[in-house]
Structure 1
């Protein structure tokens, strides 16, 4: 539910009880896919999933005629004609403030690539947090302790949307483990456990 966070997950032999501050829900299957809160909630059902925040910053220009038909690393023209500029990676914890130096570097780089950008006004900027695993690859995991509880995390939900809407559904609902899926188990971060 909007504006409610999970406070507690209780596990039984046939379902999960999820409690927020004001409501509780029961489910036969549980999918934990909640960004930077994944570590905390996965622990409640016997899973160890490590994620860390990484800040990225973006600049947005005013609208202009279409001149750029394909996205590149750090530059994309939206359908409305505005440009989104940015490709920064900062280990700053949970800080989502923008920084002048990083935004300046983004603008300078974009103008070197596409000089006509220097004539456009900047409309806004923002910073947001990516959710990363230690190797920046996805984690797909089902709890050994509480089967039916799953954890999923990846920083590129857009790029992986097609797999998330097909293969993951088969894995969770039909219990068919996709070929090669074990490579995305978090035991890869512990060499002794992976052997």
Structure 2
């Protein structure tokens, strides 16, 4: 049985590589990761500081300009369609990755007139919470009495079912002995 091989993906986030935020970058230890994952790892590191490779823990120096300046894995980039083989310019602004890019479509299908700036937040911040308190559903906490009531109700069902089974067993075992003619 042969497994179907899908597009190459980052071993940290399991997302397929692309030519922008998920660009395949190769580390000196020959492991490849996407730009976004390496940027998240390096966000608190300064230039020339060291971070460990996520797979083999080999030390890797942060290049001048950040993780986006690490070399691209050309073997993975060559597997992309021709219109995606040009890497988009990606830069770091604070804790956001920014990219000025056009739509990822073949040049013949759609005219690409305007560039769009796309950003990804690398950190969660209080200014941009994942959920606001109004979005959350309040779950009332059960008191001790209600938990006891539930437990007693379960015991009552268990006793009722046990009694019913014993009566049924008694009828099955002893009823045929009364039917002798």
Q: TM-score range by the shorter chain?
A: under 0.3
For normalisation by structure 2, the TM-score amounts to 0.22
Higher relative contact order (CA 8 A, sep 6+): 1
Larger proportion of strand = 1
Larger proportion of helix = 2
